[in-house]
């Protein structure tokens, strides 16, 4: 059985390096290369000379070179870069795994339009555990009504993370809102400092902590008058996101087209 050829966008970033290393250690996958921003200091240098990725391949600035030779592209970059990379993947019939967070509704809609021709799997979090949490939150929100239980979502990440709340926290909010058949846009509360008012029934509150090297922690609390239910996920390190992305790549390599989420992978077994 031939190996699945994988390319990595942002290959020298924190996630990019972990992905590249684990692809090389996976006997089902083949690392065909990666690319970085054209202004990156290590463009056109060998991986093994500038990182602990043991490959003599060159680091490209042109995404097309790697994407064209890959069966699947894995992208954990920025919304703007991701859109450009997906467009190139679309032109070269390459499947795409998107772990990029902070995508707008318009950007997501554009990604979905490309999925009419190529398979795309997009998730705010590649951890199978977090995706199981999504479903648990939806079920719990449905069972515990807003007249009895308030929903608060707390998340903590490393100090390097730029978007806040995290994409995962917002996704948890979406699942909670879906469970209660309400709109997250109308019920989410991101900042309680701008006006002094009581908490409204149906509000979904968010709180954010940034510091150190914490890979990711998320807690969804359902708070009633007499009890409280906490659904918690804590990532000890980034390996769970890498494993999820590689599992997703194997899953997606068997698809011809369509837009997928980690739910499709989670419940495909």
Q: Say how far residue 80 (Cα) sits from the centre of its chain.
A: 15
157 is catalytic: yes
* Residue extents of the structural domains in the chain: 4-122+238-266, 128-235
- The per-residue pLDDT for range 141-151, each reduced to its tens digit, is 999 999 999 99
On the question of a cis peptide bond just before residue 165, with omega within 30 degrees of 0, the verdict is yes
* Cα 7–Cα 9–Cα 15 angle in degrees, nearest 5: 105
d(CA 107, CA 87) in angstroms, rounded, equals 12
d(CA 83, CA 98) in angstroms, rounded, equals 10
In three-state secondary structure terms, 167 is helix
- Per-residue 3-state assignment (H helix, E strand, C coil) for 228-256: EEEEEEEECCCHHHHHHHHHHHHHHCCCC
**For domain 4-122+238-266, which CATH number applies: 3.40.50.720, 3.30.465.10, 3.40.50.970, 3.40.50.1820?**
3.40.50.720
Residue 196, Cβ neighbours under 10 Å: how many? 6
Task: Given the residues 87, 117, 161, 243, select the one marked as catalytic.
Answer: 161
Give backbone dihedrals phi and psi of 223, rounded to 5 degrees, phi first. -110, 115
Contact 158, 210 (CB under 8 A): yes
d(CA 150, CA 200) in angstroms, rounded, equals 9
Tens digit of pLDDT at every position of the chain (269 positions): 799 999 999 999 989 999 999 999 999 999 999 999 999 999 999 999 999 899 999 999 999 999 999 999 999 999 999 999 999 999 999 999 999 988 999 999 999 999 999 999 999 889 999 999 999 999 999 999 999 999 999 999 999 998 899 989 999 999 999 999 999 999 999 999 988 889 999 999 999 999 999 999 999 999 999 999 999 999 998 899 999 999 999 999 999 999 999 989 988 75
218 is catalytic: no
Tell me which CATH code domain 128-235 carries: 3.30.360.10
* Percent of the chain at pLDDT exceeding 90: 88
pTM of this structure: 0.84
Instruction: Write down the pLDDT at residue 269.
Output: 59
In the 8-state DSSP scheme, what is residue 142? H
Task: Given the residues 21, 157, 188, 233, select the one marked as catalytic.
Answer: 157
Q: Say how far residue 130 (Cα) sits from the centre of its chain.
A: 10
């Amino acid at each position: 059985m031939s190996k699945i050829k994988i390319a990595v966008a942002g290959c020298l970033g924190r996630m990019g390096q972990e992905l590249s290393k684990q692809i090389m250690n996976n006997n089902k996958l083949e690392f065909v290369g990666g690319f970085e921003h054209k202004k990156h200091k290590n463009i056109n240098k060998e991986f093994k000379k500038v990182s602990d990725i043991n490959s003599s391949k060159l680091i490209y600035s042109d995404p097309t070179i790697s994407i064209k030779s890959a069966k699947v592209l894995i992208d954990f970059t920025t919304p703007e870069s991701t859109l450009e990379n997906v467009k190139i993947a679309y032109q070269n019939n390459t499947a795409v795994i998107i772990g990029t967070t902070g995508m707008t509704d318009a950007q997501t809609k554009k990604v979905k339009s490309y999925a009419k021709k190529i398979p795309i799997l997009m998730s705010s979090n590649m951890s199978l555990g977090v995706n199981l949490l999504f479903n648990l939150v939806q079920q719990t929100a449905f069972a515990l009504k807003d007249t009895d239980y308030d929903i608060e979502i707390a998340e903590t990440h490393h100090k390097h993370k730029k978007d806040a709340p995290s994409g995962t926290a917002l996704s948890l909010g979406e699942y909670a809102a879906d469970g209660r058949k309400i709109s997250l846009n109308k019920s989410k509360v991101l900042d309680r400092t701008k006006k002094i008012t009581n908490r409204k029934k149906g509000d979904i509150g968010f709180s954010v902590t940034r510091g150190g090297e914490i890979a990711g922690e998320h807690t969804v609390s359902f708070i009633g008058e007499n009890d409280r239910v906490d659904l918690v996920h804590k990532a000890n390190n980034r390996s769970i996101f890498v494993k999820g992305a590689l599992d997703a790549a194997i899953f997606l390599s068997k698809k011809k087209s369509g837009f997928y989420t980690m739910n499709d992978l989670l419940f495909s077994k």
